[in-house]
Structure 1
Amino acid sequence: MDHPMNIVSSNPTTVSTLYQALASGNRNISVLIATDLEWWFHGPQNCHHMMKMLTGESSPSDFKFQPRSMDAIDDNCVIVEGWEGAQVYWVHVWTLKDGVITQFREYFNTWLTVRDLRPLNCLTSTTTLWQSHPQDLAPRSLPGLMFAI
């Protein structure tokens, strides 16, 4: 069995492997994703692109997810961000347990701030762990959301 630190450090690799598999049309991703994947979406109803990819309802030619940034947050969360010109911006938040993706949150055309609201040394803390940074969309007005850990 892998040491927990090895699992944590491999979480971005697992998520990257998923994007590579989907981009190449490889649907053999069951070893990366839990059978009871929890999914949450925020954005326009016609933009459920990743869930359609994961369920086989669409192909890589329907929408190309090209991550521009990937950040490991905490010990079980990977945030991936991508944007295409001035029209499309997306953030994916993947939660992993023991190296397997257990939760997926998709934010489409939404600014996202991830905050740590857990008490720190018995005091309430509000630490920003991650914030959207799509340079191509700076002049656009997008709804903002806060994701609390």
Structure 2
Amino acid sequence: MDQPKNVLISSNATTVRTLYQALASGNTNISGLIATDLEWWFHGPHNCQHMMKMLTGQSSPSDFKFQPRSMDAIDHDCVIVEGWDGAQVYWVHVWTLKDGVITQFREYFNTWLTVRDLRPLNCLTSTTLWQSHPQDLAQRSLPELMLAI
């Protein structure tokens, strides 16, 4: 029997929150949270692939601290996490989950992001599901991307 959509969304957000908590504490035992064949996508300067380095053991939590400022579960399989550190660093992580396990990860570093739903048959009318929250980075000029799902 399928779980109600709101239960899946809550469960997915809990999985992603657990991942960030584990990484912040230096706990690298995250098996069960992430699929072994994780699909990965990165946008930003090559030397800023901090999450990849963290998950593959090439860096430690002291090298770069992911401190999420917002976490939004959208749709039934997607969790978007956003963080920024003053005027220097802004990042967005888009996690896709299947059956409670993270199967896809998109990392955007110093890039504004808009997520739009293009799945309806009539792609001329799409829905914005999520947008970057500039807050203390509002005056900063960053490239903008649209993620279509």
- Three-state SS of the structure 1 residue aligned to 2:113 is strand
Q: Return 5+ residue gaps in structure 2 as ranges.
A: none
Q: Which residue number corresponds to residue 137 of structure 2?
A: 137
Give the aligned residue type for 2:111: T
Q: Return 5+ residue gaps in structure 1 as ranges.
A: none
Whether the aligned pair in 1 keeps the contact of 2:93 and 2:107 (CA below 8 Å) is yes
In structure 2, distance between residues paired with 1:83 and 1:123: 33
Alignment of 1:67-82 (within 5 A): 67-82=68-83
- Three-state SS of the structure 1 residue aligned to 2:16 is helix
Whether the aligned pair in 1 keeps the contact of 2:9 and 2:75 (CA below 8 Å) is no
Query: How far off its partner does 1:141 sit?
Result: 0.5
Q: Which residue number corresponds to residue 32 of structure 1?
A: 33
Q: Which residue number corresponds to residue 4 of structure 1?
A: 3
Further displaced range: 130-139 or 58-67:
130-139
Whether the aligned pair in 2 keeps the contact of 1:89 and 1:134 (CA below 8 Å) is no
1:96 aligns with 2:97: yes
- Three-state SS of the structure 2 residue aligned to 1:36 is strand
Number of aligned residue pairs: 147
Q: Which residue number corresponds to residue 49 of structure 1?
A: 50
Query: How far off its partner does 1:67 sit?
Result: 0.2
**Percent identity over paired residues:** 83
In structure 2, distance between residues paired with 1:73 and 1:34: 20
Query: How far off its partner does 1:8 sit?
Result: 3.5
Q: Which residue number corresponds to residue 125 of structure 2?
A: 125
Give the aligned residue type for 1:135: Q
- Three-state SS of the structure 1 residue aligned to 2:61 is coil
Give the aligned residue type for 2:3: P
In structure 2, distance between residues paired with 1:24 and 1:146: 32
Inter-CA distance 123–51: structure 2 relative to 1 (3 Å threshold): closer
Whether the aligned pair in 2 keeps the contact of 1:38 and 1:102 (CA below 8 Å) is yes
CA deviation vs aligned residue, 1:50-71 (integer Å, no higher than 9, x gap): 0101111100000000000000
In structure 2, distance between residues paired with 1:123 and 1:115: 11
TM-score using structure 1 length: 0.94
